[in-house]
Structure 1
Amino acid sequence: MIKSLQVLNPTMTPHRFPVTELASSSLPCFLFQDLDLSRNKISKIHRHAFNKLLKLKVLNLQGNSLTTISFNWFPSSQFPDSLSAFNLNHNPWTCDCEMKDFANISRNNSLTSSLHITCM
């Protein structure tokens, strides 16, 4: 078992297979601080997918196929206190009330976010 891995960036692997879906069991490491899942083909993130990532500081989901967003991805359905940067740019968003609420709350949060969301 890997006990000290803090940064994960699957785009750096030589034989890359794009990630298309994230479940809580997909991310078992409690120690990740920087999770770069940009430029994959992620279209679905399951409820509580990031629950086990208690030390997560940076989350990059830029350039995927996400159309919706939800606070239920995180523990207690809110941004974890450790999270300081969050990038969601370049996804084909479908705008709805939850998206609007998410954008408003994230703008009022102290985290550095790249939430220049353009709805399709």
Structure 2
Amino acid sequence: MKLLPFILIGLSPCIAKAQEVAVPGKPVEIKLLMSVAEVLSNSVNAKYMVLKSRTSVYHQPADTVNSRHAVRLFPGTKIYIRKYLPSGFMIDLGFAGDERYYLPAKSAKGLQTFVEI
């Protein structure tokens, strides 16, 4: 029993060498990196965009079909992203009110997302 640790230490280079080589014929799964939206949605800091052109925002995504916009925003307006949706964003304007608006993804195309620290 007293020699058991010395035997294991002597065999450790062989065990380490055996683990370096991949098993042939076994597919290796590669974990893909998270998308930017997933990373930003898990962040605690506020995210915002600054509009470059006049943009319409809606109360809900269904209002885009009839073009019933809630508010028209002017260039230079800072909008805070509150939720990412597959077709756009739920935003607010950063005022004391908690009213949320829908911004289609095509309206935000090319805008840079900033993170407040």
TM-score, length of structure 2 as denominator length:
0.21
**Larger Rg over CA atoms:** 2
